[in-house]
Amino acid sequence: MIRSGTVDIAFWMFSAGSVVAAWLVFRTDSMVRAAYWLLASFAGVGALMVLLNARFLGLVLVLMMAGEMTIMAVFMVMFMMNPAGLNPMTMVHQHRTAKIAGVFAFAGLALVGLVADFPDRPADARRDPTSDLGRELLGDSMLVFETAGVTLLATMIGAIAIASKRGRYGDAEQGSAPPALEEKPPEPAGMEH
């Protein structure tokens, strides 16, 4: 078994790393870098969950976030019309609102941390948290879990229906011809109907 001193050092390393990475999300000037600093922050949180013996949840967090942050970066690049996301751009906007919200969020969380009466019940080391989680998800919490799952599935099918090549806005290749180089470009091919 790992000694508790090692666990303490690892805990502080991953906590500090997560906080610094989360701060760097807003200090960098690129959407891709911001997305991957956020991933680094999540990976630190995943490591903390592993240290708390929630191994499955911690690993799944890293597994899901690796793909999700990449997809988020691609979507941000697509929406921002910033070719490839290579151009520098600021990651902070609405400074006054952001500052007020930040101060309130920090004060609220700090208050909870100082005032809350955290439970002190050491869990039985012989219990398997992964199988407990499985029984919970397919037992008492099944309705909540399945409702969220089916809702997300419906959202995904809807997104595919909108975005697919033969989607509700017509064929994706129609009307997407590049503009000509003259002063006044003619109607792009495929727009006449």
Partner 1 sequence: MRWSSPLGAVVLVAGVLSAGAYVVAVLDVALGRLTAAGHLRLRHALRQPLDETALLLLTRPSRTERPDAQAWALAPALLGAMAAAAVATVPLGRGIAVADVADGIVLFGAAMAMVMVAVYLHGWSANSPMPLLGGYRFIALALSYEMPLALVLIAAALPAESLSVGAIVASQHDLWNVVRQPLGLPLYLIAGAGLAFWGPLDTADGPDLAGGTTAEVSGPSRVAWELARRFVLVAVAVMGAAVFLGGWQGPMLPGPAWMALKTLVLLAGLVWMAHRVARVRLERFVVVAWTVLIPLALVDVFVSGAIAL
Residues making contact with partner 1 (CB under 8 A): 30, 32-33, 36, 39, 55-56, 59-60, 62-64, 66-67, 69-71, 73-74, 84-86, 128, 130
166 beta partners: 171
Q: How far is the CB of 113 from partner 1 (least distance, A)?
A: 29
Nearer to partner 1 (CB atom), residue 2 or residue 114: 2
Q: How far is the CB of 160 from partner 1 (least distance, A)?
A: 9
Nearer to partner 1 (CB atom), residue 22 or residue 59: 59
Nearer to partner 1 (CB atom), residue 6 or residue 141: 6
Q: How far is the CB of 80 from partner 1 (least distance, A)?
A: 15
Q: How far is the CB of 89 from partner 1 (least distance, A)?
A: 14
Nearer to partner 1 (CB atom), residue 44 or residue 85: 85
Nearer to partner 1 (CB atom), residue 71 or residue 105: 71
| 167: phi then psi, degrees, rounded to nearest 5 | -80, -170
How far apart are the C-alpha atoms of 23 and 44, rounded to whole Å?
13
Closest CA to 7 of 53, 51, 55: 51
Query: What DSSP assignment string belongs to 139-186?
Result: TTTHHHHHHHHHHHHHHHHHHHHHHSTEETTEETTTT-PPPPSSSSPP
Token pair of 100, please?
């007020």
Q: How far is the CB of 107 from partner 1 (least distance, A)?
A: 34
Helix (H) or strand (E) holding 132: helix 129-137
